[in-house]
Structure 1
Amino acid sequence: MLQAVPALRALRPDGPVAFSGQPRLGGLLRGLGLVDAAMPFDGLGLEALFTREPAPSSLVTRLISFRRVISWFGARDELYPQRLRAIVRECVIASPLPDDESPMTVWRHLFATTGATSPVEVAPL
């Protein structure tokens, strides 16, 4: 989770940042001022996007409320990327780790997935 800090900082100038994951991690990120909102991953309902069943309207409504979604999981699944991209206008779905052959560190990989063009902020927390 700490590897994601530079990426989360890079997202800040674009507007509010919401995090979905383990509640304790969301609480930490919120307490550090890195995110504006923290939502428990288990209650979001993203598991529906791994099936061919219609996505619940509550999930669709929640997802379209975000200007952009960056998902660092599900990139290798056959259905999830297609289904998420069909709902969210601007969507990035990437592995949380760089390819095995890549010399890139995890934090640089996560930063790169945001598409940020600003310099990397690596100040201590």
Structure 2
Amino acid sequence: MFMNLIANAINALEESNKARSFQQIKDNPNRITIQTTLSEDGHHILIRIQDNDQGMSENVKQKLFDYLFTTKAVGKGTGLGLSISQQIVEEKHGGQLTVTSELGKGTELAIIIPVGSGELGVRS
């Protein structure tokens, strides 16, 4: 699931580079940031995967976790990855997978999982 989320961020950055000059890429290089924290109450793990891509429109954000929805070109994506990732987080781990995105600023996928949930094997 994590590899799928990271691969999506990489693909988005690669796609946006097609419209950018070398100088633009040099001035604002691609960046993916992964941050893991424990909630203040110690009951949840928060994992954030952020990129500095161009962000998503409201229309795309609303459909992002829909089964078979993809932003990739025909033949490049199945539309299964994010819907399955969300299903794993919610059904196997009792957590949430959310997206925050702002046009021109990038996207963040956040995973919130209760400590000791599912198959993580983490115990408090």
User: Which TM-score band applies after superposition, normalised by the shorter structure?
Assistant: under 0.3
Q: Which protein has the bigger strand share?
A: 2
> TM-score under structure 1 normalisation?
0.24
Instruction: Please say which structure displays the higher CA radius of gyration.
Output: 2
